[in-house]
Structure 1
Amino acid sequence: MTRQRRVAIAILFAALPLSVGAWIGGKASANGPVRIAIDAGADRHAISPLIYGSSFASPEAARDLKLALDRSGGNSASLYDWRTEARGAGRDWFFESLPIAADDAAQYGARFVVEAKAGGAEPIVTVPMTGWAATLAADGGKRAAFSVARYGPQAAVDRAGLPDAGNGVRPDGRPITGNDPHDAAHPVPITDTRAWIRGLVARFGPAAQGGIRYYAMDNETTRWHDIHRDVLPVGLHAREQLQRTIAYARMVKSVDPTARIMAPEAWGWGEYRYSGFDQQWGDAKGYDALPDRTSQTGGMDLLPWLLTGWRAAGFPVDVVSVHFYPQGGEFRGDGHDDVSSAMQALRNRSTRLLWDRSYRDTNWIADTVALIPRLRDWVSTYYRAGTPVAITEYDWGAAQHMNGATAQADVLGIFGREGLAMAARWMTPPTGSPAYLAMKLFRNADGRGAGFGETSVATRAPDPDTVAAFGALRASDGALTVVAINKTMADAKAVSLTLARFAAHGRVTGMRVIDGRLVPLPPSRFAGGTLDVQLPAQSITLFEMHPDDR
């Protein structure tokens, strides 16, 4: 059967009453329909549009996805040089300092702001705090931090780009130490960074007048000793991180008091708990007796301790921002994400890490993460209740597979339901990929701006590992919108949506992502406060329910 015919049949089944679809679907209704309860009058709260964000989005993708947020970040941001438009790739690419061409996807300064605004998104500009910036060669070209000519043979070199650039590791596996950090970088005082911020504000205006609203305080600072060990070989102490964040946050606000500061941009669970110095120590000697945890944070996890220090400093941080990637191999970042049956099942359930206080991570974290409520609890206890929390890097992988698409849709639904303030996926999925279409379904499903609503309402699904659902009211037309996600790999699911405190009768329209395509649903109706449908395997459906009296 062709893919087009499978899609057409799936769309037809979605409009059939359950009594008809059940005998055709076979396995879908063997145990009865999945009953999803929606109460349009309960748990109402606004969904922040800023959860629909990405990193380094092209203007075209930002407009198509209606992205509200675009972040310039990543490891190269830590050694960005605004005067020469250079970046330090660090361990990600042979510790090279590289020129940033005008047409490079990853931009960090004024060109990034221009592109983000051209796409209609609020830019997040990352402010380097390392005290170092990339130095280019005399001709403006690449420069090596671990030159083979200077430091000898290395385990790997950049044969296709700069053969003299090594990976900083000797052929026998020992890291090269004692290198000169000035080989491919130069010191940068905070006054120089202030000049950069002043230039940005002079060009774009202050935040209160449409300029740059968000500034992130560097990127994953507790990994500098790993990613940028050519200039910072010793892990950052907890007190150093606290003091740098306060100093740079105050510097930005001295230039633009209306700007909003985001920190700590922590890489994940390890940085939530331990300083860079302690991570370096723990990796080498074990985590039983960590120096900073003993002598600096008083036994506290790093992030709550930082919040306490920022509170004492007068609340210099406006948005508490972290990064999070599931740690079971769901995301690999090399273009070859695992889509085995076992990994698909893990990807289906590991989105619980974002919200479920009873779900224990099955990998090295080995704890209950419940990230969004955990962050909110930390902020309320150690900082200031109501401070926005953000996840400014995340990815569940498999962007080119429907399993990655269902995970992406689930994540966006969770962000809205749980009241997250801001989010940015790490890089925009390839245009037209299943994960890209999953994002589009929420914001611009029909290509004319219609999508998921702006006011979250109570929506209960019995087993979100197989069928997840999210409901929201849409202000523009009064529709109740429901995103229903069938995560299962092979089985269609008979679903019964019951609607409380909403109209009893009306028409149904919508869109569906299935088999890597975004397709419209044929018009149908709901009656008696119920909508009975079938969800094809590995599909994401946006139902738009319009009352008859509107």
Structure 2
Amino acid sequence: MKRAAVRLGVAGGCACGLAVPYGAGYAQPAPAPAPAPAPATVSPESVVDITVDGAIRHPISPLIYGVNFGTTETLKDLRVAINRSGGDSASAYNWRIDARNAGKDWYYESVPCDPKAINDQFGPRFISLTRKGGAVPMISLSMLGWQAKLGPDRSRLASFAITKYGPQQENDSVGMFDAGNGFKPDGSPITDNDPHDAQTPSDAQSEQDRLRHLVKQFGADGVPYVILDNELSLWQLIHRDVHPIGLHADETAQKVIEYSKAVKAVSPKAKIVAPEEWGWQGYHYSGFDQQYAITHGLDHTPDREGMTAGMDYVPWLLTQWKAAGHPIDVFSLHFYPQEGEYSDSDKPEVQRARNRSTRDLWDPSYKDPSWINSVVALIPMMRQWVDQYYYPGTPIALTEYNWGGEHQMNGATTQADILGIFGREGLDIATRWGDLSPDMPVYKAIKLYRNYDDHGGAFGDISLQTHTPDPDEVSAFAAQHGADGAITLVVINKRLDAQAHVRISLSNLPDHGKVEAWQLVDNALTRKPDTSYTHATLTATLPQQSILLLVLPQPKPAKQGKKASGKRS
């Protein structure tokens, strides 16, 4: 499994774009609008006032509705725009034998890929299933310098075999008993292993050959996005069997330049995505400095004090890449919240953390209360970094994120909040990490944005300015469809144990009309009776932990009659 959060090497939890057309899709027959029901008596102070201003707007990138390793059916049903192939195994994927090394995620085993898997993670089949699902593929190339190898008859190999290196703290008791975790029973790491045990050397030429084969098979447009590896500043943890020393900042910068040139030589139109760093410390410190800090602390780290002259690691990389020309086309990072949100926990304190921690994505007044202990404001920070240190307007991408609670309504309300934030804040690309299945509330939250009526009905593609008084309790997002003018509003009641009465005031938008409604509550996505609104005001009551989608279709202009000929009869 993917390890999403690492602090100084100690587990803290678990370790531009190409346009994609889509339509409004209001194909489902609807009953005639009913008069709006008289609202129940509610004290004014308990009403949540939401405002929407149609005059303040900007486009929403369809590529924010992306996933990692989506199946063809998932891509179709959720109308996913972009599908990413990445993660820790991508660093050690061997395209010549279709095998991967799982690194620290699974006992450093090299294993054959399964060509029958419906979400085949790597190789040409990933591109095929993605295109079949109507999405854009985003593949990862390996820069680790080592790749998986297999034994006779494509058998597994272990980097820390117990039969070779002796007893270890843990071993794979289900797949390969001989595979250890690389730590002796006393907790000390095994450091004298032979990296050739389960891997084989690789280089930029090999990955260029891989891309050349893909372009030959799918054409230049078939490989639109190429990611340069995964979380390089964690190689000394995730892939310590072959890369026990963390990368220096200049090594990372040069690797990206070298492999970018190799990609562009074969596929000049491919968009290069980097640096794919893992999280807060990966933004600020090189792999070498993170490893150094485990025993020496962060006060005086070698790369930061010398090589980058006090600059944060990732902004410094951008300056080096700009000096080298234009080696990356999309600036990408990963982010996972650090208060236990990325888990299955349904404890109230964790659920409340999910409700508030989406502020890490956008709010410059929110100080993260976890060990991060700082303002993150991730999307504005990324935009500021590319504008200041690279090329203004460079697309920014969040290619891994997950807030957990996937089988809870709390996770669904959080996911809906995140998608709304992505559109409002102008993120260019986002791909959610983690499995998805139709029975999951999180899946249905995504469907509410992308295919709520099973006929292509989706949230609008033009963001409208929306304000709510306390987004930790009730958040809201609005957008309009450029094609037919329909207005869509998503209202999210994050409260764990109380309903929410909302009053939505519209300005610079039609002041009356029909209202269609869909609601996700108790893991059921259903259509509610149609109503109407007047005086530019809508009211609704949302159950606890629920999501409401309101669609305000705009009437088509009346057809003009034939021009009179001027002749008298």
TM-score (norm 2): 0.90
1:432 Cα deviation from its structure 2 partner: 2.4
1:18 Cα deviation from its structure 2 partner: 7.7
Please state if 1:235 is matched with 2:246: yes
SS of residue paired to 1:481: strand
- Per-residue CA shift, 1:437-486, capped at 9, x if unaligned? 00001010100001100000111111100110000001343211000000
Kept after mapping to 2: 8 A contact 1:77/1:126: yes
CA spacing shift, 1:22–1:547, aligned 2, 3 Å: farther
Match of residue 255, structure 1, among 266, 274, 279: 266
Q: Which runs of 5 or more structure 2 residues have no equivalent in the other structure? A: 1-33, 558-569
Kept after mapping to 1: 8 A contact 2:36/2:531: no
1:509 aligned partner: 516
1:546 Cα deviation from its structure 2 partner: 2.5
- Per-residue CA shift, 1:329-358, capped at 9, x if unaligned? 1003xxxx1111111111101000000000
Kept after mapping to 1: 8 A contact 2:114/2:120: no
Greater mean deviation of Cα atoms: 341-350 or 415-424: 341-350
Distance, in Å, in 2 between the alignment partners of 1:22 and 1:81 is 65
- Per-residue CA shift, 1:300-333, capped at 9, x if unaligned? 101100000000000110000000001111003x
In structure 1, what residue type is equivalent to 2:323? A
Match of residue 219, structure 1, among 207, 220, 230: 230
2:278 aligned partner: 267
CA spacing shift, 1:106–1:30, aligned 2, 3 Å: farther
Greater mean deviation of Cα atoms: 470-479 or 33-42: 470-479
Kept after mapping to 1: 8 A contact 2:514/2:532: yes
2:552 aligned partner: 545
Kept after mapping to 1: 8 A contact 2:108/2:179: yes
1:20 aligned partner: 39
In structure 2, what residue type is equivalent to 1:155? Q
1:168 aligned partner: 182
1:139 Cα deviation from its structure 2 partner: 1.8
Kept after mapping to 1: 8 A contact 2:145/2:202: yes
2:104 aligned partner: 91
1:41 Cα deviation from its structure 2 partner: 1.3
1:426 Cα deviation from its structure 2 partner: 0.2
Greater mean deviation of Cα atoms: 236-245 or 136-145: 136-145
SS of residue paired to 2:518: strand
Distance, in Å, in 2 between the alignment partners of 1:32 and 1:17 is 21
SS of residue paired to 1:157: coil
- Per-residue CA shift, 1:471-521, capped at 9, x if unaligned? 000134321100000000111111001011111110000211110011002
1:486 aligned partner: 493
Identity fraction in percent: 48
Kept after mapping to 2: 8 A contact 1:396/1:407: yes
Kept after mapping to 2: 8 A contact 1:505/1:548: no
Kept after mapping to 2: 8 A contact 1:402/1:514: yes
Distance, in Å, in 1 between the alignment partners of 2:168 and 2:133 is 43
SS of residue paired to 1:158: coil
2:65 aligned partner: 52
Kept after mapping to 2: 8 A contact 1:50/1:422: yes
SS of residue paired to 2:515: strand
Kept after mapping to 2: 8 A contact 1:90/1:96: yes
Greater fraction helix: 1
SS of residue paired to 1:430: coil
Aligned residues: 523
Distance, in Å, in 1 between the alignment partners of 2:170 and 2:261 is 42
Greater mean deviation of Cα atoms: 474-483 or 179-188: 474-483
Match of residue 141, structure 1, among 141, 151, 155: 155
SS of residue paired to 2:444: helix
TM-score (norm 1): 0.93
SS of residue paired to 2:501: strand
Kept after mapping to 2: 8 A contact 1:79/1:87: yes
Match of residue 457, structure 2, among 441, 450, 475: 450
1:351 aligned partner: 358
CA spacing shift, 1:429–1:57, aligned 2, 3 Å: same
CA spacing shift, 1:147–1:264, aligned 2, 3 Å: same
Distance, in Å, in 1 between the alignment partners of 2:388 and 2:316 is 11
SS of residue paired to 1:139: helix
RMSD: 1.3
- Per-residue CA shift, 1:77-124, capped at 9, x if unaligned? 000000100000001001100000112334212111111111111111
In structure 1, what residue type is equivalent to 2:40? G
Distance, in Å, in 2 between the alignment partners of 1:525 and 1:411 is 29
Kept after mapping to 1: 8 A contact 2:336/2:342: yes
1:30 Cα deviation from its structure 2 partner: 7.0
Kept after mapping to 1: 8 A contact 2:35/2:532: no
1:405 Cα deviation from its structure 2 partner: 0.2
